Structure 1
Amino acid sequence: MSFNNNARLDSSRVSDRRGKGKGIAVGGGLGGGLLLILSLFFGSDVIDGLGLSEGSGTAAGQAQSESIDTCLNGQDANERLDCRILGTAESLDSFWEPYLADSGLTYTEPGVVLFTDQTSTGCGSATSAVGPFYCPADEQTYYDTAFFSDLVTSYGSSGGPLAQEYVVAHEFGHHIQQITGSSAGRNADPQGADSASVRTELQADCYAGLWARHAASQPAPGSDEPFLAPFTETDISDALSAASAVGDDRIQASATGQVNPESWTHGSSAQRQSWFLAGYNDGGSLETCDTFRAADLSRP
């Protein structure tokens, strides 16, 4: 449990395409492009070896049994993953709008799209194999909910709610970068332990931590109660577990038995955990998450 049971949810915040998708967009998020990158650098046999081929999006439990329209409150978010994604998005909105306003920036809500198997995006067609991602062309975040099972069964993350909410917060972090312009140079420097791509991803991790720091104290619109209850040590451990699970070094070691920092795009497990904690523990300003000025990415 992480949501206050009485928190009201607005289902119109999410575009629900589950069961309707057709369609690889290279995402810039937590899971975005990870499987595609593995395939490009290590061969398609790596994907098969991990059991994360494109068909994984139809895993058991993936089928949509209820409509997003039935996500009404925090209790629903505590019980259902799709409602949790919705509630997390609304919590992120309630935090980032006033937070950016204090820095003279205008927050615009990114789209939130749920899909199964395949979908069309402003960045091209996308499949479940890409994982959650943010498309800057249409300013929308995309989630095939099957990924959250893969996060546990194939990546080794814990299954706690903040592990899942961290994923959403990370993708929203890329939208914040779109607003601030901080990720403009990532495509010119797409690989390497010290690359702009890694710095971009670690900054999104830090922004996720920044939200987590304030999530339980920022009231929901029209209410004096936040969407989320205060996080416990177990919650934070769940988030750190997710951050560690998708570190480049951990994925490479699992897939090939070797670690090649020259091909990193997201950062190591330790770096991802460290930058999330930087936002969570020290996040008083956006400058806390300025990975582009950090001389040592292992030490925020």
Structure 2
Amino acid sequence: MRFNPKARLDTGRVSDAGRGGGGGGGGGGSRLPIPGGMAGGGGVIGVIAIVVFVAVQLLGGGGGGGGVSGGGLSAAKFTDTGRYADCKTGEDANNSADCARVAVENSLTDFWGDTLGSDFRAEDRIVTFEGSINTGCGGATSSVGPFYCPGDETIYLDDAFFDDVLVGQLKGPEGAFVEPYVLAHEYGHHVSNLIGTLGKVTGETGPQSTGVRLELQADCFAGMWAKHATETEDSTGNVLLLDLTQDDITTALDAAKTVGDDYIQKRSGGSVDEEVWTHGSSAQRQKWFQVGYTEGTMQACDTFGASRV
């Protein structure tokens, strides 16, 4: 992935709350389902159980399928640390992971604005934090992983999650395109919120459940963006991304595999029980990213209209 050095970056929707941004509590994620039966009578058990718990939230948060709940503070309640203030150009994005995050947000916003037209509104913002934060969906900690909160239409992440959990504990892929895939998935939840499919989630589990269909739709939307990412532009018409390589797409597919419900169950040392799936198997997640990437249309990503996913 390479950004256009001439592109201008808009930092208006990317903020950093720093450590304990908004004074968030630790309870947000603990009420969420854990695939693989890892919750025992005494609660979450051991390090592997924590891995499973965190990975369930990765690429999942927001409405129905996962995420925190409750009436927390909005993202506007914290003081921005200014972490992204020096992100001005695509060259900055090529040299800084922080500025690359801004560039990816700009690309996602441009793509979905063009795709949805008058039905589109940008996410409120992407917020990075460390430790804990209060959100429009309640208090959350870093252990929840990246998530979208429909209550304030904001994507939250502690970027240490990628090294500490996705790579360190789940043995997932490293590479510059892992985080863009995650952000594109979470932005996909925002799109599902805008078009109304997020509201179709009814709470059941299993490989054909509405929660799984929501997650697979977000993977498909991530693939759609990847297909068209090199066509996205800044506010003055400069292309934002010069190229995505096949290695980038392979990295995204490897990340999708790592957060499949069956993969997580196997990592926990248990058996695969598809009846408790909330996000879809590795094969399902890879399939639907590929559908979005190869077909690149909203119709192709209608997981709720598909007879089977």
Q: Aligned residue for 1:151?
A: 166
Map 1:151-300 to 2 at 5 A: 151-186=166-201, 188-223=202-237, 225-283=238-296, 285-297=297-309
Cα distance in structure 1, aligned partners of 2:33 and 2:101: 26
Find the partner of 2:33 among 27, 34, 37. 37
Q: Deviations over 1:91-143 (max 9, x none)?
A: 10111101101xx5233334211111100001000011111001111111101
The answer as to whether partners of 2:52 and 2:264 remain within 8 angstroms in 1 is: no
**Structure with more of its chain in helix, by fraction:** 1
Displacement after TM superposition at 1:40 (Å): 9.2
Cα distance change, pair 73–100 in 1 and its aligned pair in 2 (3 A): same
Task: Determine the C-alpha separation between the residues in 2 that align with 1:152 and 1:25.
Answer: 23
> Which whole-Å CA distance do the structure 1 matches of 2:53 and 2:214 have between them?
26
Q: TM-score, normalised by structure 2?
A: 0.82
The residue type paired with residue 69 of structure 1 is A
Amino acid paired to 1:48: V
Corresponding residue for residue 48 of structure 2: 49
5+ long unaligned stretches in structure 2? 55-80
Superposed CA offset, 1:31-51 (max 9, x none): xx8x95338941355551366
CA contact 1:249–1:268 (8 Å) conserved in 2 = yes
How far has the Cα of 1:157 moved from its partner?
2.2
Identity of aligned residues (%): 42
> Structure 1 residues 154 and 95, CA, compared in 2 at 3 Å: closer, same or farther?
same
> Who is 2:78 aligned against?
none
Moved more, 4-13 or 119-128: 4-13
- Tell me which amino acid in the other structure corresponds to 1:265: T
Change (3 A) 1:47 1:248: farther
TM-score by length of 1: 0.84
Correspondence 1:25 to 2:28:
yes
Q: Which stretches of structure 1, 4 residues or more, deviate above 4 A after TM superposition?
A: 44-47, 50-55
Alpha carbons of structure 1 residues 212 and 110: separation in structure 2 relative to 1, 3 Å: farther
Find the residue that maps to 1:16 and give its secondary structure.
Answer: strand
CA distance in 1, matches of 2:234, 2:305: 33
Alpha-carbon offset, residue 25 of structure 1: 3.3
Structure 1: distance between partners of 2:158 and 2:86: 19
Separation in 2, partners of 1:73, 1:12? 14
| Alpha-carbon distance change, 172 to 147 in structure 1, aligned in 2, over 3 angstroms | same
Match for residue 68 of structure 1?
A: 84
